[in-house]
Amino acid sequence: MSGDKIKTKKKSKVKKKLHKKEDGSWDTTDLYRNSDRYPFEIEYIKYFNPMEGRTQIVFLYKDKETKKIIKYRLLR
């Protein structure tokens, strides 16, 4: 195996598509694209947990139509 070489393929980077905004500038980020299609509204609550002695953030995901809490995520 001393003479064998292992060939590996390098993945090429995916190029982001440039999109022209209404004001004439160019948008290169995909961060907020299709935000109107996102099915949740997100709210957060900052809470000081005295048992752990630190602040926690609770993200609440609500349905856009019924406004009921569907799920939550705890950031420690």
State pLDDT tens for residues 20-37. Answer: 666 766 655 555 555 666
What are the tokens at 40? 């949740």
Q: Name residue, tokens 């609440």.
A: 60
Specify the pLDDT at position 43: 92
Could you tell me which residue, 45 or 15, shows the higher pLDDT? 45
Could you tell me which residue, 4 or 45, shows the higher pLDDT? 45
Tell whether the model's pLDDT for residue 45 goes beyond 90.
yes
Residue type, 32: Y
Tell whether the model's pLDDT for residue 10 goes beyond 70.
no
pTM of the model: 0.50
Say if CB 75 and CB 52 are below 8 A apart.
Answer: no
